[in-house]
Amino acid sequence: MKNKRFIMLAVAVVILLMASIASAVPDAIVVYKETDLGGSWQYDYTVYNMSTEGEALHELFFYFTGDVPLSGISLPAGWHGLPWTGMYTTSYLNAYSTEFPHDIVERAALGGFSFSVDYRSGDISYVAYFSGDKQISGTSVNCQALLFYGDADGDGYGNLADPVPACSAPAGYVPNNTDCDDTDPAIHGETLWHRDWDADGYGDPAVTVLDCYAPVLYVADYGDCDDLDATINPETLWHPDSDGDGYGDVNISAQQCTAPPGYILDGIDCDDSDPLRNPDTYWYQDNDGDGYGSMDIYIQLCSTPAGYVLVGQDCDDTDPARNPDTYWYQDNDGDSYGTYSLSLQQCLQPSAPPDYVLNKLDYNDSNSSIGPPTRINGGTPSYYLSLQQAYNTAADGDIIQCVDVTFIENLTINAGKSVTLQGGYDGSYSTITGITTLQGDMNVSDGTLNIENFELLQ
């Protein structure tokens, strides 16, 4: 009877080996834990499914070398065991599921296969059968299987959601599960986070926390040099302020955390060579084109608007002769002609007395009957203080009329034109009352000079 069973077993082993060759091999291992009971040894077996799919285990054989008396057989719920020994055969334990098949979900285990023998058996061979004609066989491993965790980003920290039971770490797995982002090697259980108090995306290198997840107001980047100012960080653009007006050159910048010497944050200066030209500059409308604008019409702008000037001190923007550069001349005799020797420079006409006027044509400011000493006669006469001024301005054929006064100057006639000098007029140029005197030299080199009521004193 034993020989018959031996033959049947041998045939079964051959069939088993052939099936092993033809069948798919599931990703599973069988490990055991060995316990010395003091005269006997207890073996506890566990089947680990390391694949990402469920595996349906339905039968498990344990093979011993020699006849082994078994005791204390314990199997998972729904399983039965059949030990067999024989003189000419290898003793074995056949465990099979009565709830065919028994599913082991992915990355899980089925334990509870336990028995005792009266000597230390060491590693025991096994064959495990799964649904789909899949099986594994080999020698069980004495180890306390551990969970290893997938490390997809290679940072040495494993993903809690990707566990694998094994005696040693499979490739791409590590013994810890402290990675909260297994797609980023910079994020793991010992990531150094830096406080970002100003929330600009850059942290303070001196204030840190070790954690997988970033605490509130903490970031990975530690390049902030001023964590109290969100405008200051490694992306800050600094602009040179060459003219020192507090506004930097919009066309030149340096990107860094700390300000380079002579650089500032504000970069909206349109002319960094002129401290008067910046976004705070006020421009004043200059309607009369005298270079001075109206204080009542202005605009704040960096670049120059058309028709505007920087200086806004014009008291009369309709008259180009009235501005802060205007000279007013004292008119003591009230004849509307001022004396060139007494003047004030200001925009508004000085208050009387004495009166002040815009011209300086009065030859004698103590005598109201004597105003400008000479003029070029015409539809609109032009008045002058000296004979040379009148001659230089006169055109060919003009008549220069002079008041009955003495001119102390030299007169040069060299313009190649014909001019008549009429002297002896009263202050109103209406009546000849005397003779005009020229005290000085008269030189005629080119042109013609006709003289009436004149005398020359040298």
pLDDT digit string (tens) for 393-414?
A: 999 999 999 999 999 999 999 9
Which of 220, 251, 273 marks a domain boundary? 273
pLDDT at 1: 35
Count of Cβ atoms closer than 10 Å to residue 221 Cβ: 15
**Same domain, residue pair 230 and 241:** no
Query: Would you say residue 98 lies in a domain?
Result: yes
Which of 273, 297, 327 marks a domain boundary? 273
pLDDT at 425: 93
- When pLDDT is averaged across residues 286-315 and rounded to a whole number, the result is 94
Query: Would you say residue 57 lies in a domain?
Result: yes
For the ranges 120-124, 173-177, 225-229, 427-431, the lowest mean pLDDT is seen at: 120-124
pLDDT at 451: 95
Dist. CA 253–CA 264, nearest whole Å? 9
Dist. CA 420–CA 112, nearest whole Å? 142
pLDDT per position as a tens digit, 246-297: 999 999 999 999 999 999 999 999 999 999 999 999 999 999 999 999 999 9
pLDDT at 224: 95
**Same domain, residue pair 196 and 120:** no
**Same domain, residue pair 9 and 96:** yes
Query: Would you say residue 355 lies in a domain?
Result: no
pLDDT at 91: 76
CATH of the domain at 51: 2.60.40.290
**Same domain, residue pair 197 and 267:** no
**Same domain, residue pair 14 and 135:** yes
Confidence of residue 322 (pLDDT cuts 50, 70, 90): very high
Confidence of residue 128 (pLDDT cuts 50, 70, 90): very high
pLDDT per position as a tens digit, 131-169: 888 999 988 888 776 788 999 999 999 999 888 888 888
Dist. CA 176–CA 155, nearest whole Å? 11
Higher pLDDT, residue 105 or 262: 262
CA proximity to 5, closest of 93, 96, 85: 85
pLDDT per position as a tens digit, 182-204: 999 999 989 999 999 999 999 99
Percentage with pLDDT > 90 across the chain: 59
Which of 247, 273, 299 marks a domain boundary? 273
pLDDT per position as a tens digit, 331-377: 998 888 888 788 899 999 998 788 999 988 888 888 887 788 899 99
pLDDT of 318 over the 60 cut: yes
If you search the block for the tokens 């500059």, which residue do you land on?
Answer: 281
pLDDT per position as a tens digit, 360-371: 888 888 888 778
**Same domain, residue pair 102 and 197:** no
Which amino acid belongs to residue 137?
S
- When pLDDT is averaged across residues 434-439 and rounded to a whole number, the result is 95
- When pLDDT is averaged across residues 109-130 and rounded to a whole number, the result is 87
**Same domain, residue pair 241 and 230:** no
User: DSSP letter string over 212-273?
Assistant: SSPPTTEES----S-TT-TT-STT-EEEE-TT-SS--BTT--EESSSPPTTEES---BS-TT
Query: Would you say residue 401 lies in a domain?
Result: yes
**Same domain, residue pair 196 and 267:** no
pLDDT at 267: 92
Confidence of residue 85 (pLDDT cuts 50, 70, 90): low
Query: Would you say residue 290 lies in a domain?
Result: no
Dist. CA 171–CA 155, nearest whole Å? 14
Average pLDDT, the chain: 87
Dist. CA 191–CA 280, nearest whole Å? 48
pLDDT of 47 over the 50 cut: yes
pLDDT of 16 over the 80 cut: no
pLDDT at 307: 96
Number of domains in the chain: 4
Q: What is the CA radius of gyration of the chain?
A: 58
**Same domain, residue pair 94 and 198:** no
pLDDT of 66 over the 80 cut: no
**Same domain, residue pair 22 and 100:** yes
Query: Would you say residue 89 lies in a domain?
Result: yes
Confidence of residue 100 (pLDDT cuts 50, 70, 90): low
**Same domain, residue pair 387 and 401:** yes
Query: Would you say residue 361 lies in a domain?
Result: no
Task: Give me the domain span that covers residue 227.
Answer: 191-235
Higher pLDDT, residue 66 or 255: 255
Query: Would you say residue 178 lies in a domain?
Result: no
**Same domain, residue pair 247 and 203:** no
For the ranges 2-6, 32-36, 99-103, 215-219, the lowest mean pLDDT is seen at: 2-6
